[in-house]
């Protein structure tokens, strides 16, 4: 049994990040009698620089750095992340100790009056900082204007409500976790619209070799979600993708058979490519292999040129 008496969880300060960290803390307290769990809220560069897109300032890894430093300096033992924000390659001192059961993996369209994507007027301004979301929007509604939108969930909704933009695209999971599920005017879902790899899942990160913390974290792991996330992240890894490249991946698992869709596009030309495969998956190695094969299928269809764009 783990000998940890107090577990300190590093988290970003945004309302959604704090909700996610407290959710993990509550589950750990419920699973391990007598365990004290404390939150260590921190500000990251990704939270502080809001006047430029994530692609322009270095990518999603900016949401992790300060949390990892806190673990290295022994100010925290564990970090909670939105799994889609975790780079496919972690720095050597860290490991992902658990992937929790996935919430709604899809994107949501939010509007003031509840109208859906097809009902937006031509030229309407839709806010999102994601190149993936911008390009999928461009494919479905080339007459709309995508505008960069950063900030926490509340500030993004406020810009829609104030009329600064006509709509915004956010993750369904984040809206629902903060009690804004009623604001979802339309779920943007597969097969027409694919999410980011690992979207909707939470990831727990700790120091490599910190066995007691890893055991505590692993008690919250959800194996089917972990396999799907593994396959999706393998697509991104094989394509050498980051938030500077529009990439999507979405896996489902049914009675041991996994279906995986991969998608990549060029922000410059608007061209997109898609590949899908389905096979039995018995463990992590099989899931990674499926993800790699889907990426290879995309590359065989010309994805490298789109990635180089």
Structure tokens at 135: 């390009």
Ramachandran angles phi, psi of 59, nearest 5° = 100, 180
Clarify whether 85 is annotated catalytic: yes
Active-site residue (options: 47, 51, 77, 85): 85
Phi and psi at 213, nearest 5°, equal -65, -40
Number of other residues whose CB lies within 10 A of the CB of residue 100: 23
**11, 28, 102, 301 from 278: Cα distances, Å:** 36, 35, 20, 18
Would you give the DSSP letter of residue 52? S
Closest CA to 118 of 176, 173, 167: 167
Token look-up 């996994």 returns 258
Question: How far is 151 from 174, CA to CA, in rounded Å?
Answer: 13
Order the strands of the 202-207 sheet from edge to edge. 36-42, 6-12, 78-82, 202-207, 94-99
Regarding beta strands 107-111 and 186-188, do their DSSP bridges make them parallel or antiparallel, or are they unpaired? antiparallel
Short-list 81, 95, 72, 105, CA closest to 21:
81
In angstroms, the CA 226 to CA 24 distance is 16
Q: Tell me which residues are annotated as active site.
A: 85
């Amino acid at each position: 049994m783990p000998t940890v008496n107090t577990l300190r969880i590093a988290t970003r300060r945004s309302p959604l990040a704090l909700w996610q960290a407290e959710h993990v803390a509550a589950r750990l307290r419920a699973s391990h009698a007598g365990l004290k769990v404390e939150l260590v809220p921190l500000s990251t560069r990704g939270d502080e620089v809001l006047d430029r897109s994530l692609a322009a300032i270095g990518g999603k890894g900016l949401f992790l750095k300060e949390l990892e430093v806190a673990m290295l300096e022994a100010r925290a033992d564990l970090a909670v992340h939105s799994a889609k924000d975790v780079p496919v390659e972690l720095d050597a001192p860290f490991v992902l100790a658990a992937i929790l059961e996935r919430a709604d993996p899809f994107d949501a369209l939010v509007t003031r009056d509840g109208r859906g994507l097809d009902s937006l007027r031509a030229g309407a301004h839709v806010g999102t900082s994601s190149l993936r979301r911008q390009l999928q929007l461009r494919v479905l509604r080339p007459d709309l204007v995508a505008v960069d939108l950063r900030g926490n969930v509340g500030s993004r909704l406020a810009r829609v409500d104030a009329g600064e933009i006509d709509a915004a695209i956010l993750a369904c999971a984040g809206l629902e976790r903060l009690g804004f599920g009623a604001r979802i005017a339309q779920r943007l879902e597969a097969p027409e619209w694919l999410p980011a790899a690992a979207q909707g899942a939470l990831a727990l990160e700790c120091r490599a070799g910190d066995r007691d913390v890893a055991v505590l974290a692993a008690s919250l792991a959800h194996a089917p979600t972990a396999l799907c996330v593994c396959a999706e992240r393998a697509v991104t890894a094989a394509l050498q993708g980051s938030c500077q490249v529009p990439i999507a991946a979405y896996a489902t698992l049914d009675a041991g058979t996994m279906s995986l869709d991969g998608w990549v596009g060029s922000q410059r030309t608007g061209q997109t490519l898609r590949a899908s495969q389905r096979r039995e998956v018995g463990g992590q190695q099989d899931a990674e292999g499926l993800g790699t094969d889907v990426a290879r299928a995309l590359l065989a269809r010309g994805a490298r040129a789109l990635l180089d764009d």
